[in-house]
Amino acid sequence: MAPPRRALIAVTSAHAPLYPDGKETGLFITEALHPFNVFKQAGFEVDLVSETGTYSPDWLSQQKEWLNDEDRKVWEDHSSEFRRKLDNLLKPSDIKPEDVPIPSSPLSQPDLQHANDTQYGIFFASAGHASLIDYPDAKGLQSIASKMYTSGDIISAVCHGGAIFPGIIDPATNESIIAGKKVTGFTTKGEEEEGVLDTIKSWNRPTIEAAAADAGAIYISPPGPWDAFALADGRIVTGANPASAHVTAEEAVKAFDALGDS
């Protein structure tokens, strides 16, 4: 039986000073918004979840060079489906294998109409530097992704979202699901160019490259730190940076559709 055409986008709950004048990192908006759009256009029902049911937006992701007029219109429209679901995030405890998800905050009836089961075919970890802080310890999100991987679903991440992978364990091997897999993610060179590597070290967190290596994966660098780049290795789909969010989601959909052909 093919997995249901439903996608679950994970969102970081963390936030911390990263940019000049103490401006904070958090969810990089387009890294959730662009996949949301891709999945919806491909006929998926889409839910959003974070470890605590909360989020904070990344400061840089709200700037004009990173949030174009079309995206900003959706972001600033609290009645848009994306913003409504983002502002009423699910928590892992709301998603039970044999139960209907109960949102952490009330949603409108149209949002609940599709909730006739809790099974998803794609798990997508959106990002922002803040993901480095909470994803490594996000046991609820990791458990969901592990169960989905075991069920034969697609597990995907973009940019710093790969910080969640070391904790997503394949029970068949007792190793991370990316062990032996080719993955990409935000480059250490990119961290250096942004001047944030020391801050990441102060969080006592590894870069995405280091985390991938520690999990036994084969890290593949994009042509350049900011070039759109996505990579699929079986049911693991990864993307390199904010510019890759759209193509990573497209690759996840391709991988999902291929499940029905196998």
159 counts as catalytic: yes
Of 15, 34, 129, 160, which residue is the catalytic one? 160
Burial of 81 (0-12, 13-18, 19+ CB in 10 A): middle
DSSP 8-state secondary structure symbol assigned to residue 123: E
Of 45, 191, 209, 251, which residue is the catalytic one? 191
Query: What token pair was written down for 210?
Result: 């280091």
The set of residues, in sequence order, having a beta carbon less than 8 Å from that of 216 and lying 6+ positions away, is 175, 176, 178, 179, 180
Helix (H, G, I), strand (E, B) or coil at 11: strand
Burial of 9 (0-12, 13-18, 19+ CB in 10 A): buried
76 counts as catalytic: no
Of 129, 159, 209, 246, which residue is the catalytic one? 159
The set of residues, in sequence order, having a beta carbon less than 8 Å from that of 3 and lying 6+ positions away, is 119, 120, 121, 151, 152, 153, 154, 256, 259
Q: Which of 187, 177, 148, 191 shows the shortest CA–CA distance to 10?
A: 148
251 counts as catalytic: no
> Which residues are marked as active site?
159-160, 191
